[in-house]
Structure 1
């Protein structure tokens, strides 16, 4: 896969990032190849990230509309490479339902 095709794939998948939990963390092995001085060498992590993003597009949970009368729950997660968050609410049975997923990659300064 060349840099142009990879950029196109990540752009298309990135459009749906709010539906994919931990999008930035999953995409990180691929986004490193968008840098000018890095040559794309398909490896296990990059291939796994590619497959994981494809699978997430077809199997992501359905986001629910918020119920303003119920409390919100915020989950956060961080690694050395990315930050992630989920906004959810519990239903009548006590099950979490996602309302929004947020994520971003860490910059080199962070």
Structure 2
């Protein structure tokens, strides 16, 4: 967002229509938050107060849990994925791979593991959800439930 151009990466990060204000101490964070809110007021940017969270030690941002430990998968989103039956249609495969693919950076060799299912998505490929596809599906589900915490570089 252009209205925060001088604050981005210094006191806040903006992701589409989500943003996060940060600081290395409580006082700094409070000051940065005050500056961001003043900028919103000055530019008449309306915030959705029901979706706003202030001074938290962790939170969900873009479907990821962010805390001082690092970046984790959102357990609630994983619960939804875990309840999915294995896909029975091309649309089902696309849907599953879309959901699971959101967390691909947590899963080593995601593309290699999902290959049996992505092969079905290729043009003129018959829909045969083989044992390889079932194994790929189960492997991705398992990897999602044991996904590590990613630590952002300094």
TM range (shorter): 0.5 to 0.7
Deviation at 1:63, TM superposition (A): 1.1
Deviation at 1:2, TM superposition (A): 0.4
Q: Secondary structure at the match of 1:53?
A: helix
Residue of structure 1 equivalent to 2:122: 35
Instruction: Give the unaligned 5+ runs of structure 1.
Output: 69-110
Deviation at 1:39, TM superposition (A): 1.4
Residue of structure 2 equivalent to 1:11: 98
Q: Secondary structure at the match of 1:60?
A: coil
CA distance in 2, matches of 1:48, 1:40: 16
CA displacement 1:37-79 (0-9 Å, x = unmatched):
111212221110000011111111111232x5xxxxxxxxxxx
Residue of structure 1 equivalent to 2:149: 62
Q: Please, what is the CA RMSD of the aligned residues?
A: 1.1
CA displacement 1:75-109 (0-9 Å, x = unmatched):
xxxxxxxxxxxxxxxxxxxxxxxxxxxxxxxxxxx
Q: How many residues align?
A: 67
Residue of structure 1 equivalent to 2:110: 23
Matched, 1:44 2:131: yes
Residue of structure 1 equivalent to 2:21: none
The structure with the greater share of residues assigned to helix is 2
4+ residue segments displaced more than 3 Å: none
The structure with the greater share of residues assigned to strand is 1
TM value normalised by structure 2:
0.41
Q: Which has the higher contact order (CA 8 A, sep 6+)?
A: 1
